[in-house]
Amino acid sequence: MVESRLAATLEALGEAVTIQSADGRSIYANQAALDLLKLSSLEELVATAPGEISARFEIQSEDGTPINVSEFPGNRALRGEEYPSLLVRNVVRATGEERWLLNKATVLKDSENRIEMVINLIENVTAPKQAERRAKFLAQAGKTLASSLDYKQTLENVASLAVPEVADWCAVDLVDADGDRESVTVAHVDPTKLALAGELRRYDTRELDPSEGLGAVVHTGETQVYQAIPDLSLAEVALDEEHLRLLRAVGLHSVVMAPLRTAHGTIGVLTLVNAESRRSFAPEDIELAEELARRAAAAVENARLFSERTHIARTLQENLLPEALPQIPGWQLGALYRPSGGSTEIGGDFYDVVPTAAGWVLVIGDVTGKGVTAAGLTSLVRHSIRAIAHYESEPATIIERLDEILRDQRGMQTCTVACIRLEDEAVTGAAGGHPLPLIVGPDGVNAAGEPGSLIGAFENGKWPVWRASVPRGSSLVLFTDGVTDSQAPDGERFGDQRLAELLAAAPSLDPPELVRHIDAGLTAFESAIQADDIGVLIAKSLAPTHGNGQTSTSQRQGSLSKT
């Protein structure tokens, strides 16, 4: 009577309960427990050997190591060992269904303190556990996606993060504006399986069929789900015997294809495949795939916008430099411009050679600041100087006018500029906050001129005019602070001294070679990525034997060709 009441109470419980006798046999399970164990009746439990039941499930600890049933708390208790509660991942081999079960045991003893029976309580914690693992996975995936602007690399990393945690396979394909696909990554924990994927790729067409699979996802922007794919449909999609063999070898069970959507449409597809694990995708898994695809799409979009911005900024900046240097009687010119290594954060170095009524004026300058704003200001400065030079031919006056223009701007807009007019074996110049030029010749390396105020910064700036002789065969070297501020891997700056030594080692080179010499010297010294851009403009006073045959060179280098 008592027993049947007890049984009735246990049946009514939502929690799964099983009872083991002292010899370890299962003698009772309530309905909830039978459901969990996928048994149709108590009779089936009693009639089936314990090992046979556990063989129907794959049982693992949270870190994925297999767990033997003998380690369950009930069995430990029966052996007289400690029996803490045990959380296991339990996958039904027949269906691939994943459950998270928390097993606890209680021991009932008789009056002589012998174990009479063990009551096992199995709590199904699948929903909270899966939610926790999904949240953890998404957080990690989000971090990975945000870690770099190399989206192919980050998509690869995310895909390998997804297997086998979320699915057996994870792949990402991107589609371009023409609808052509590009396979970015395929991940699986087993390399031999990956080889299969490689072979299957041969059957991919570049153009997608909008009526099915990837093509349908791209076309509709909707997720496609195929659960428990029968062999029959594999035979239907297979293009030939070999294709079918490969599809069978992968053992496709369930597939989710989620769109990588942006404001401009679907740019790709994230595919999750379950095969050998025979897991089906729960609605939460499909949501997870969609969320992952959303985040991946945002990462790809960001990276694309970023590279587009870099391209715009670079183009803008390169247009701030003269296409070619002019031919100037009595002088030979050479120039170097190298953008900073720091991606879009372009600096504002520029140089120009401007005609005035009194002769050619060399201009070199540096706008403080970075990015597109700096490029805009550089454009203003360069074109202002060109316009001023129509009316003014004195370097100091050109700078004074430029200073007025900059002080009329909103906010503090400053720049450094040196303006140097080329004359016969001499120059007249003025500098506004800019490093003073060097004269390189038989007498060694000497700084020329006098400093003047930073442009755009002060009321009543002062720009002393100076004249320097540049004897034939000597070169005037103008440079921006990117040269002297250039940094070695140990943090050491290149500095004035090294620049002077570099130039002193090659006093008679023609400007194009001297520019290369400086570039090589800096490259040898510095680390791969420099914070600032570098500008150099060189004018060599020609020996009379050169006559009119002088040449000029403008050497520009992208950061890619830097190393």
Partner 1 sequence: MIRPAEFRVEVDRGQSAVKLRIVGEIDIARIKQLEQSRDGVLAGSPSTLVIDLSKVGFLDSSGLKFLLQTNERVQGLGCELQIVRPAESVMKVFTLTGADQRLPFVDPGTP
Task: For the CB of residue 392, give the shortest distance to partner 1 in the complex, in Å.
Answer: 21
| CA 301 – CA 295 distance, rounded (Å) | 10
Point out which span in 89-97, 257-265, 486-494, 555-563 binds partner 1 (CB under 8 A): 486-494
- Write the secondary structure of 351-404 as one string of H (helix), E (strand) and C (coil): EEEEEECCEEEEEEEEECCCHHHHHHHHHHHHHHHHHHHHHCCCHHHHHHHHHH
Task: For the CB of residue 508, give the shortest distance to partner 1 in the complex, in Å.
Answer: 29
Task: For the CB of residue 499, give the shortest distance to partner 1 in the complex, in Å.
Answer: 14
Contact between 420 and partner 1 per CB under 8 A = no
Residue 409 vs 551, nearer CB to partner 1: 409
Point out which span in 12-20, 420-428, 469-477, 525-533 binds partner 1 (CB under 8 A): 525-533
* Beta pairing class for 224-226 and 359-367: unpaired
Which of 434, 474, 475, 522 touches partner 1 (CB under 8 A)?
434
Question: Total number of residues binding partner 1 (CB under 8 A)?
Answer: 35
Contact between 416 and partner 1 per CB under 8 A = yes
Q: How crowded is residue 216: how many other Cβ atoms within 10 Å of its Cβ?
A: 18
Residue type, 406: L
| CA 295 – CA 260 distance, rounded (Å) | 8
Point out which span in 139-147, 265-273, 320-328, 452-460 binds partner 1 (CB under 8 A): 452-460
Residue type, 273: V
| CA 530 – CA 346 distance, rounded (Å) | 11
Residue bearing tokens 């997804």: 162
**Torsion angle, CA of 144/147/151/156, rounded to 10 degrees?**
-30
Angle at 423 between CA 419 and CA 425, to 5 degrees: 115
Point out which span in 28-36, 124-132, 168-176, 410-418 binds partner 1 (CB under 8 A): 410-418
Contact between 527 and partner 1 per CB under 8 A = yes
Contact between 491 and partner 1 per CB under 8 A = yes
Contact between 412 and partner 1 per CB under 8 A = yes
| CA 207 – CA 180 distance, rounded (Å) | 5
CA-to-CA separations, 273 to 12, 139, 257, in angstroms, rounded: 39, 21, 9
Point out which span in 303-311, 319-327, 339-347, 469-477 binds partner 1 (CB under 8 A): 339-347
CB-based contacts of 389-393 (< 8 A; 24+ apart in sequence)? 389/354, 389/355, 389/356, 389/361, 390/356, 392/356, 393/356, 393/357, 393/358, 393/359, 393/361, 393/421
Contact between 400 and partner 1 per CB under 8 A = no
Contact between 475 and partner 1 per CB under 8 A = no
Contact between 322 and partner 1 per CB under 8 A = no
Subset of residues 376 to 395 that bind partner 1, contact rule: CB under 8 A: none
Q: Judge whether 427 and 420 are in contact, CB under 8 Å.
A: yes
Which of 95, 315, 390, 458 touches partner 1 (CB under 8 A)?
458
Site string for partner 1, 96-125 (x = CB under 8 A): ------------------------------
Residue type, 221: G
Contact between 368 and partner 1 per CB under 8 A = yes
Task: For the CB of residue 368, give the shortest distance to partner 1 in the complex, in Å.
Answer: 5
> Which positions lie near partner 1, rule CB under 8 A?
341-342, 345, 366, 368-370, 412, 414, 416, 433-436, 451-454, 457-458, 461-462, 481, 485, 487-491, 493, 527, 529-532
